[in-house]
Amino acid sequence: MNDKKAAKRFAHPMPVIFDTDPGIDDAMALYLLARHPALDLRAITTVFGNGSIAVTNRNARILAALYQQAVPVAAGAAGPLHDNALREFSSHVHGDDGLGGVADLAERTALALSPNAQIPPLDARPAHQLICDLVNAEPGAITLIAVGPLTNLALALRHDPSIASKVHQVIVMGGAFGTAGRCGNVTPVAEANVINDPEAADLVFTADWPVVIVGLDVTQEVVMEESYLASMQGRGGAVGDFLWQATRHYQDFYFGCDGIKGIYAHDASAIAYAIEPEAFTLRSGPVRVAMEGIARGQTIQDFRKPSGAQTPWSGCPSQQVCIGVQAERVLALFDQAFDPAFDLNTDRPAGQGA
Ligand code: RIB
Ligand code: CA
C-alpha cells in the first residue's frame, strides 16, 4: 500500500462485524483484524462450523478477551437454515475444542490479562439481530466479514431485508471456483463454509448487496509455512505462542491431506482483502450455489458476456470473486500484526479496540 492510501485508511478505519466459527484460522484472522489500524472491529458474531455453537461461542469469548477487544460477542446459528441439511463440525481439522487443543491455555491467559479476571459474557441478542441493529445504526458504513457458514447473514437478511442496501460491503471466505484446480476441500467441488449451509450461501450471494468472495482459489495460494509460523513464538505478548501451539494440530491435518508443511491462511486472507484489496485480482459475475446431488455446495460464477438467454444466474446481481492473490503481501500483513513498532490500535479513542 502506498503512504497516501495507508494514511487515508488509517484515518478512517473501516467498521467491521466479524462473523466467525473459531477455529484456528479464524483465531489468526481475528488477531489481524483486531490489530490493524485500517479496521475497526465493532462486534463478533458466532456460528457453528469448526465446532458446535457451544465450542465456537466459548472460543470467540476467549479470543475477544485474549486480544483485549471490548466489543459485543453474540451467539449465532447452531445449524444450517434447513435442519435436514448436512451438518458437519470440523473437529478433525481444528481439534475437539476448535483451537487445536489449546483453548484451555488461551482461556487461562485471557483471564490473567482481563482487568476483572473474567471472560466477557455473550450479548443478549442473537447474532442476526445484532448485525441488523449495528447496520441500521450506521447505514452505509458497516462491512460484514464472514468466515464461517453463512447462516447468520442469511437470517439477518430474512429478519430485515432492508439491511442489504445499508451494508457497505460483504467479504466472505468461502467457496471455490476452479482457478488452478482449486475446487473444493470437503467434496471435490465444495468448500467447507459453503457446504455447511448451501441454502444460506446462495441467499447471501444472490442478495442485492456487494459481495467479494475470497475462496480456495486464493486462500490455498497463501501458505504459512512452518518456519513462518514458528517465527510467531515470543511475539504479540502471549498471542504468538498461543497461535504457534494452536497451529500444530492444523498443520498436521494439512500435511496428512495435502502434503504441505504449513497451513492455508483461509480466514486471514479475507481480512487481508479488507485491508489491501489491491493484492487481489477480481472477476465479476453473478454467483449461485448448487443444491442437489453430488454437486451440492459447489459455487459457480457466470462470468460470460450476457447473451440474453435465461439461466439460473439471470437477474442475480454481479458479485466479485477473487481469482488471484499476491500471497507475499498477505503474509507480510499478518506478520506486521506482531510488530511492536507497528503497534496498531493504540491511538484509537477508548472503546474502539485495544
Ligand atoms: O474452507 C476453509 C474454511 O472452513 C475456513 O473458514 C475454516 O475456518 C473453516 O471454517
Ligand atoms: Ca472459519
Q: Measured between alpha carbons, how far is 182 from 84 in angstroms, rounded to an integer?
A: 28
Q: Ligand 1: which of 173, 213, 220 to mutate, most ligand atoms within 8 Å of CB?
A: 173
In a domain, 346, yes or no: no
In a domain, 131, yes or no: yes
What is the reported pLDDT for 84?
A: 62
In the predicted structure, residue 353 carries a pLDDT above the cut 60: no
* Domain span at 45: 3-305+312-336
More confident residue, 8 or 205: 205
CA of 214, nearest ligand number: 1
Distance between the two ends of the chain, CA-based, in angstroms?
24
- Catalytic option among 36, 94, 128, 266: 266
Instruction: Please give the tally of structural domains in the chain.
Output: 1
Measured CA to CA in angstroms, residue 237 lies from 187, 259, 301, 340 at distances of 39, 31, 43, 10
Pocket, ligand 1, Cβ cutoff 6 A: 21, 23, 25-26, 49-50, 147-148, 173, 185, 191-193, 266-267
Q: Measured between alpha carbons, how far is 244 from 184 in angstroms, rounded to an integer?
A: 26
Per-residue pLDDT, averaged over 56-66, amounts to: 97
In a domain, 200, yes or no: yes
Query: In terms of Cα–Cα distance, which of 210, 197, 322, 226 is closest to 266?
Result: 322
pTM, full prediction = 0.94
Of 77-91, 191-205, 275-289, least confident by mean pLDDT is 77-91
Of 57-61, 69-73, 256-260, least confident by mean pLDDT is 256-260
3-state secondary structure of 187: strand
* DSSP codes, 32-43: HHHH-TTEEEEE
In a domain, 19, yes or no: yes
Backbone angles phi, psi at 46, to 5 degrees: -105, 160
Query: How far, in Å, is the centroid of ligand 2 from the Cα of 187?
Result: 17
* Cell numbers for 60: 470467540
* 17: CATH: 3.90.245.10
In a domain, 282, yes or no: yes
In a domain, 112, yes or no: yes
Name the strands in the sheet holding 14-20, side by side, starting at the edge strand that comes first in the sequence: 73-74, 39-46, 14-20, 143-146, 169-173, 211-214, 319-325, 280-285
Tell me the residue type at 156.
Answer: A
- pLDDT category of residue 348 using cuts at 50, 70 and 90: very low
In a domain, 254, yes or no: yes
What would the pLDDT profile of 26-40 be if each residue is shown by its tens digit? 999 999 999 999 999
Q: Ligand 1: which of 31, 50, 59, 186 to mutate, most ligand atoms within 8 Å of CB?
A: 50
Q: For the chain, what percent of residues have pLDDT higher than 70?
A: 94
Active site residue 266: yes
Query: How far, in Å, is the centroid of ligand 2 from the Cα of 285?
Result: 24
In a domain, 331, yes or no: yes
CB-count exposure of residue 296 (10 Å: 0-12, 13-18, 19+)? middle
Q: Measured between alpha carbons, how far is 219 from 313 in angstroms, rounded to an integer?
A: 25
In the predicted structure, residue 43 carries a pLDDT above the cut 50: yes
* Residue having the nearest C-alpha atom to atom 10 of ligand 1: 148
Arithmetic mean of pLDDT over the chain: 93
Backbone angles phi, psi at 317, to 5 degrees: -65, 150
Q: Ligand 1: which of 267, 269, 273, 322 to mutate, most ligand atoms within 8 Å of CB?
A: 267
